[in-house]
Every structure is written in structure tokens, then in C-alpha cells.
Chain A
């Protein structure tokens, strides 16, 4: 079947519904947020329409730069951990029998059905001193005394990787299933070990998929709000936590909106950079 460019207005018909949805549920709210970010906050009240940069000025401080920097670093770390774990996992998964694959995918999908709250509380119990996994280590004689593993950066990272891992696998899975098995076979017949074949053939062949997955997990992790609170100390709180504080607890919508706009801009900038770097790599 040949793909033709739309000829008549009615050919665009099927686009109408998704476009409307996108406008109503994305463009309008986002535009509202941008508008509010320029409004004037009334302390002890709400806000009044205005056009001023005060909300952005307040954000431009070392304190918020640190929080933003930490949020980005956390999201990048989560993305890298997820991809490093998920690529070999998914590769091995696609080599398994169909029944085994289905069982794994169902298990991963069921993790997706868990809410962030449940994941957070489950990990906080697992990492606790009184009921956590260190008690098992004590029983096994590996540790002398049970101790709390949270709040800590490691706990936040574990929780977030656990949450994002199923997404990562599900994004990688279609590409890896379609990967031509003759590629690795050729590498093997030419004398490469399975591990060498994986790194020199499979990974490069999947470069674009991996980049796209990294970006997806990064953005997913950037919005995390609950797990850093449940599993981390205040210095592990992301910008999303502070945005929520301003919006819900301080009723400071203009400042919350300004922070959110800033976060979106920085995110888009980083994604654009990644894509650009990827293109340059291809032409080289």
C-alpha cells in the first residue's frame, strides 16, 4: 500500500478528534499556566492578572538552582540505571519462549498498576529498621544489627528505578523483538563471544531506541513528587515537591507556575540537545 499525502480537507478528518483533545487537555492548560506565571501574587490573598517577571526573578537563586540541579541529576541517574538494567533484561527476555515472555510481561504490567503511594510505602517498610530487609541479613548472620536504610538517596533511587523499570522494558521490547537474529548469528560465526556480540552488534543497532528510552524515563522521573518525600531527606526533594508546596500549601500559584514553566523549558532544552547530539553522531 502506498502512502499518499492528504488531498482534501476531509482527509484531515481523522486528525480532528486527537487535535481537539490535545488543545483542550494540553494547549489550554499549559497556556493558562504560562499566563499565571506572570501574574502578581497577593500575599495573604490569591493573585491578580498582571505582567511581571517577579516570579521568575525569585526562582533565579542559588537555592533553587541547586534544587533544579538535583532534580535533573536524579532524573538522569534514574534513566541511566533503568536503561542499563532493562536493555540486557529485555534482550534476554526476547530470546525466551513465548509463554515465559508473556508471564514476565504480565508481571511487569502488574507493577504498573501499583500507585506511587503503594510503591513508596512498600519500600519504606522494606528499608525500615524494625521490619526491613536488614532483619533478614541479621538472621542470616551477615549483619550484626538491623538498621534503617532510609531516608537516603539510595532509597529514593531504588524506589524510582523500580517504578520506571516496567515502562523502560515495555518501550524497549518491540524494538528488541524485531531485531534481526541473523545479525548476532553472523557476529557469532565470525568468532565474537555472546557478550561481545551484544555490545558490538545489538547495542549499536538499537542506538536510537536507547536514546529515546533514556529521554522518556528521564522525563517520567523528573515529575516524581511522592517517592522523594517518602524515601528521602529534604535535600532529596525534587523541584516538583517545592512546586506542590507553593501551589497547594502557600496558594502561590504564580510562583508555582513560574517554577513549572522553568522546569519544562529546561527539560525541553535538554531533550533537544540530546536529539541534536544524536543526529551529529549519525552523520559523523
Chain B
């Protein structure tokens, strides 16, 4: 999960690099002018640059709260830093954008201050799964952004778009696939469970996971590339060297818009939807401001803006937004998504990682 984010940013950092200069020059002046302020942690690179440019200045104008954007290091380093700092009563950032696995790990140490939904009026706009709750029902975080990993193909080689993830298992596609190299960022166990075993609930037991691994082993002869580096697969997909695989929906759409022979398909079993949450450190003293911020970010108009400008899939219900069909299709789909089983990557991560590595390396 976290590594997925890391890679995401690596690619996006390049795209967004040009935007960085202007926004960095603009920020300090805004900070000085305001009394109320909030430190917001956002994944460094593309996300931070886009938020600095498209979101934070308007937020400050609308609410009078200055935002100091903090570039979060990727991986779990930020979670560890927040946790250690909270133990010392410090908050390096008040609100942070956190991966779903990091949300669960933070819950384990009560790191996230419970959010008061009465103060987040726009919370009712959210799709239910984007409200992250403690086991006892307190709200730990609110969905910030989400994105899809879908079935992508080269249109020169595949004239017809595949309709199901089952295409990965088709013997006709021998040595033609490019898949993500890690169990925790490819989410292929979930895909296998949804495609062949009726849903991700099939992964509840170790036997169920084992069955999914066994089924997944049949894909191995079809895989040409297990990639960690996005650029490697994107290049090979465009050239037709590796004509099928899993990749990010929005990026594939952009590549197709640039005239490359690629397409992204939402299989009938659904695309893989991954997401990040806004969460408030329990050491933060800016509780009021944090609620205002999260409420602001949950407005349909802001989620629509994010879809248009940043390419993320909205966390609020579609009917509340003014996105056109084309704009919505560029980032999302009405097909029920495959939601990763983040709990597995928290409780069984070492076991899953070992089985996965043995599966693809062995």
C-alpha cells in the first residue's frame, strides 16, 4: 500500500515539478498574513504541488485559516514520526493524508483524534466506505482522495477491450502481462478473490488466502514483467512490448489522450480502488481548524475540482457533483470497485509477503 503511494509520487513528482516553484514562492506570504493556521501533511511531490496550487489558497481565502503544507515522506516513515512525536506531545502536522494501512496502524496506538461529525456538515456527502472508523465507532479519518488501478491494454495488439480480470488467466496471453511486483500494491489477491471466489471475503481465512495464491500461481506463465517502477511498464505498454497489465486509470487515460495506443478498462468485477484519508493527530491543538479543513475538503465542488485538476476519483457521491460523464469516466466508474483488504496487510503482512515472494520468485 505505502509503496504504491511512493511509486505514485515518483511519477507524479516529475509531472508536477514545474508547478512547484510558483506555489512555493506564494506560500510564505499567505502564512504571515493570517492568525489562524493549520499544518497539513500531504504526500510530497505531485500531490503537494497540486494542493498548493489548486486547493490551499482558496481554502485560506474562504476560511481565513492559513495552511502550511508539509511534504510527507512516503512509506511508513511518516506514521512512525507522527506516533513518536505524539508520545512527546508534538504534532509535526495537525492533519495528514494517510494510506489505509497507516490508518489501521495508527488506530492501534490511538494516534488519531476522534473526529466530531457534527462539525463536518459535508460528511453526509461522503460514500460510506470513506469514513474510517475505530472498532468502537469513533471516526478516525475521512476520505481525502482515491484512485483506481484497472485492466489496461495496448489497442494495436488488442483490438477488442477485455471485459474481465479473467483475461490475466487466459493461456492466449502467455508472456504478455505487466503486473505490480508487491503483494501490498498490486492487490491481486483481492482481484483473484473477487473474480473467482465470489468476493474479497474469501480471504478471511488463511485457507482462503492460500486458495487465492494457488489460483494466482496460474497467472505466472503469462507475466512478462513484475514492475516496481511505473515508467518501465508504462513505456512497454505504449510500445506494445508488454500489451496488457494493471495500471493507474487516470494516467492511462492521459497517455491515451496524448495519442498513445493504450486503453484502460473497468472489468466487470470492478477496478481496484485505493485511497487516502485525512486524519488528525491526537497531539494537535488545532482541533477546530482541522474540522473546518476536513469539512471544506468534503464539499462536492472541491472533490469535483480535485477530479478535474489532480485526476483523483471523488470520495463523495456522484449525484452531488457537477462532473460531466466524460469527466467522471476519466477518473472513476459506476461499477462496484474492488476494495483492498487493508486489514490483511496490517495483521498478516509478513506471512503474505513471504508467500507472495515465494510465489513469484520461486
Contact with A along B157-181 (1 / 0, CB 8 A): 0000000000000000000000001
**Does B118 sit within 8 A of A, measured CB to CB?**
no
Known contacts: A44-B105, A44-B346, A44-B349. The answer to whether A249 contacts B182 by CB under 8 A is: yes
Partner of A234, one of B80, B229, B361: B361
**Does A242 sit within 8 A of B, measured CB to CB?**
yes
**Chain A residues with a Cβ closer than 8 Å to the other chain, count:** 29
Contact B350 A129 (CB under 8 A): no
**Does A237 sit within 8 A of B, measured CB to CB?**
yes
Chain A, Cβ-Cβ closest to B348: A43
Which residues of chain A have C-beta atoms less than 8 A from B358's C-beta?
63
Chain B, Cβ-Cβ closest to A255: B350
Contact A130 B241 (CB under 8 A): yes
Contact with B along A232-273 (1 / 0, CB 8 A): 011101000010010011111000000000000000000000
**Chain B residues with a Cβ closer than 8 Å to the other chain, count:** 33
Known contacts: A151-B225, A249-B3. The answer to whether A235 contacts B361 by CB under 8 A is: yes
**Does A124 sit within 8 A of B, measured CB to CB?**
yes
Contact with B along A29-60 (1 / 0, CB 8 A): 00000000000010111100000000000000
Contact A250 B349 (CB under 8 A): yes
**Does B320 sit within 8 A of A, measured CB to CB?**
no
Which residues of chain A have C-beta atoms less than 8 A from B236's C-beta?
128
Which residues of chain B have C-beta atoms less than 8 A from A230's C-beta?
229, 232
**Does B357 sit within 8 A of A, measured CB to CB?**
yes
Chain B, Cβ-Cβ closest to A67: B361
Partner of A242, one of B76, B105, B347, B357: B357
In Å, the complex CA distance between A187 and B6 comes to: 62
Contact A131 B239 (CB under 8 A): yes
Contact A251 B76 (CB under 8 A): yes
Which residues of chain A have C-beta atoms less than 8 A from B357's C-beta?
63, 242, 245
**Does A148 sit within 8 A of B, measured CB to CB?**
yes
Contact A130 B240 (CB under 8 A): yes
**Does B308 sit within 8 A of A, measured CB to CB?**
no
In Å, the complex CA distance between A229 and B241 comes to: 17
Contact A252 B239 (CB under 8 A): no
Contact with B along A85-123 (1 / 0, CB 8 A): 000000000000000000000000000000000000100
Which residues of chain B have C-beta atoms less than 8 A from A121's C-beta?
232
In Å, the complex CA distance between A248 and B225 comes to: 20
Contact A229 B228 (CB under 8 A): yes
Which residues of chain A have C-beta atoms less than 8 A from B226's C-beta?
233-234
In Å, the complex CA distance between A46 and B2 comes to: 14
**Does B353 sit within 8 A of A, measured CB to CB?**
yes
In Å, the complex CA distance between A252 and B350 comes to: 9
Which residues of chain A have C-beta atoms less than 8 A from B349's C-beta?
43-44, 250
8 contacts between A and B (CB under 8 A): A44-B349, A46-B80, A63-B361, A63-B362, A234-B226, A242-B361, A248-B6, A250-B353
Where the two chains meet, the residues of B that have a C-beta atom closer than 8 Å to any C-beta of A are 2-3, 6, 75-76, 80, 104-105, 108, 181-182, 184-185, 224-226, 228-229, 232, 236, 239-241, 346-347, 349-350, 353, 357-358, 360-362
Q: Contacts A229-B229, A235-B362 known; list 4 others, CB within 8 Å.
A: A151-B225, A230-B229, A248-B3, A250-B350
